[in-house]
């Protein structure tokens, strides 16, 4: 439910289980008020016409009484008063997968994006899966190349929604071999903690900046707080990058990480 503290920020790695064991979505529903929840779905990243309604039906099947899809297909839709009214009543906001650049270029700077930030700051929980997860932080990974080794020009960054500047998210992480592009992105700004999220797995970023792992896969935490050297400033296109002093953790369900103090709390 909403309150005085910031709401949870919940990036999901994509392909979350929806029927057999939907524990990620169940926890989001529980946080958002359960049967009393008011969940708003934003399917803007998807180009499939039924994505929003499918998630509405899914949340209702999980016991939510009120669930609505905001069909924001163009920037002018993000100023609609009826959509803003739904968002104002929301206890949970869910952004679907698809294309994160479609999401950011349609929503960025609009009244809907501004209201989502205000609602989260006031206690409403915001989740996003796949492209929706990538869009959550201040900096968004918009694209890049697979591979283990960080290399120059391996990743494309763009502005995100800006709910947090503590983490940088990459999704479908193990499944699509994305460690190298996350390391490359983090080398540009070592202030940020990298969070690589597997499919059917979520990072529940609590109001106190603790990350809780929920789901069947792992979350890879890349801690840059002890970085002592980076060669990114002299790496040409596709040339390898040296990063010295980074710390990495892989956490399964039940694992917790303090993103403020850079410590593993459990797992």
Q: Are 203 and 197 in contact (CB under 8 A)?
A: yes
Torsion sign, CA atoms 149, 265, 24, 11: negative
For helices 51-61 and 23-31, angle between their N-to-C axes, nearest 10 degrees: 80
- When computed from its CA atoms, the radius of gyration of the chain, rounded to whole angstroms, is 18
Q: Which of 172, 187, 212, 230 is catalytic?
A: 172
Q: Which of 69, 139, 199, 230 is catalytic?
A: 199
Output the six-digit token pair for 69.
């899809």
Q: Catalytic annotation on 53?
A: no
Q: Catalytic annotation on 172?
A: yes
Cα–Cα distance for residue pair 222/194, rounded to 1 Å: 5
Q: Which of 32, 69, 130, 230 is catalytic?
A: 130
29-to-52, 74, 78, 151, 234 alpha-carbon distances in Å = 16, 28, 24, 39, 47
Q: CA 53, 57, 62: angle at the middle one, nearest 5?
A: 145
Residue with tokens 């999704």: 171
Output the six-digit token pair for 201.
């797995």
Catalytic residues: 130, 172, 199
């Amino acid at each position: 439910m909403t309150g005085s503290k910031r709401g949870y920020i919940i990036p999901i790695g994509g392909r979350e289980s929806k029927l057999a064991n939907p524990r990620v979505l169940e926890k989001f529903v529980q946080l958002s008020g359960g049967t009393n929840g008011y969940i708003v779905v934003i399917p803007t990243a998807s180009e499939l016409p039924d994505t929003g309604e499918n998630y509405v039906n899914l949340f209702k099947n999980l016991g939510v009484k009120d669930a609505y899809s905001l069909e924001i297909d163009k920037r002018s839709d993000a100023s609609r008063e009826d959509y803003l009214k739904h968002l104002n009543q929301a206890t949970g906001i869910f952004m679907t997968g698809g294309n994160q650049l479609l999401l950011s270029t349609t929503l960025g700077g609009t009244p809907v994006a501004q209201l989502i930030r205000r609602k989260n700051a006031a206690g409403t929980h915001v989740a996003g899966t796949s492209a929706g997860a990538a869009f959550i932080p201040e900096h968004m990974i918009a694209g890049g190349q697979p591979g283990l080794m960080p290399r120059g020009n391996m990743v494309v960054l763009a502005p995100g929604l800006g709910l947090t500047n503590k983490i940088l998210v990459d999704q479908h992480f193990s499944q699509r071999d994305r460690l190298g592009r996350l390391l490359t992105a983090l080398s540009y700004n070592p202030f940020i903690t990298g969070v690589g999220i597997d499919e059917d797995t979520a990072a529940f970023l609590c109001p106190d900046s603790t990350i809780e792992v929920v789901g069947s896969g792992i979350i890879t935490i890349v801690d840059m707080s002890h970085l002592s050297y980076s060669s990114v400033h002299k790496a040409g296109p596709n040339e390898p990058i040296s990063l010295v002093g980074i710390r990495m953790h892989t956490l399964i369900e039940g694992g917790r990480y303090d993103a403020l103090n850079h410590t593993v709390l459990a797992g």
